[in-house]
Structure 1
Amino acid sequence: MKKTILLIFLLLFGIVTLFMSSSVLFNWFGIRAKEGNFVPFIVWANLLCGILYLITAYGILKNQVWSKVPLIVSLIILVLAYIGLFIYINDGGIYETKTVGAMAFRIGVTALFLFITLKIFKK
């Protein structure tokens, strides 16, 4: 049951992340204008993590122990991007305040996904 719930959340989070990130980067449906002052490297990091969430979901569906690896990589990417965001802000870069909170949320959710995945495949 825990595995099924994790799988569903990973799929939903991955699909939404891919859609929103690619919409901002490629200006689909006019979403770029609605996002305001986005930070491109943050959006690229999120896009990459969206792909990694879907890879993890596939691994969990196939009951593969390696499923934790894409989440570990995602967490590293997000933490590095978050550090980069603070450097960017400190250097006077233009950004939206919501980006800081959204990245903290994404790091927390990814850490939670990783924690649950580790518990599922603990041997």
Structure 2
Amino acid sequence: MTERPRTLSIAVAVAVIFGLLTIVSGGRALFGSADMGAVVPFVLWFNFLAGFAYVLAGIGLWRGAGWAPMLSLGIAVTTAAVFAAFLWHVGFGGAWEARTMGAMILRTGIWIAIAALVLRRKKA
């Protein structure tokens, strides 16, 4: 059995844990009774659904599936696109929460880092 690099194991753990937390928090915001303030619906729905992709990507990376690096890249690109749309929304005076800005910066950064790591590893 080939030993998995520590950085890949960390990336997998981050992807799966972050995905599960995203599903839970997004589900509470969408289907719970908690007042989340000035949520931006398209961002909330995207993040909730993306949580499932995070978990799938993490599992795929753990198993060494050939499609998992491209899924990671797809998550990074679509997250950056949704973040750009969110910034557009904010720029034109739409209501928003500061925690959404922080969350989108975090999500985009994490997935760019994961995608870069696994794509660089795939090339090697």
Structure 1 length as normaliser, TM-score?
Answer: 0.85
Measured in 1, the distance between the counterparts of 2:7 and 2:89 equals: 39
Deviations 1:55-100 (A, max 9, x none): 1112112211211122222122212211211222233321112212
Where structure 2 has 5 or more consecutive residues not aligned to the other structure, the ranges are 1-5
Change beyond 3 A, Cα 1:94–1:59: same
CA contact (8 A) 1:72 1:114 kept: yes
Measured in 1, the distance between the counterparts of 2:67 and 2:123 equals: 12
Where structure 1 has 5 or more consecutive residues not aligned to the other structure, the ranges are none
Q: CA deviation at 1:101?
A: 2.2
2:48 paired residue number:
47
1:122 paired residue number:
123
Q: CA deviation at 1:47?
A: 1.5
Amino acid at match of 2:18: F
Measured in 2, the distance between the counterparts of 1:97 and 1:62 equals: 37
Measured in 2, the distance between the counterparts of 1:118 and 1:98 equals: 30
Q: After alignment, is 13-22 or 87-96 more displaced?
A: 87-96
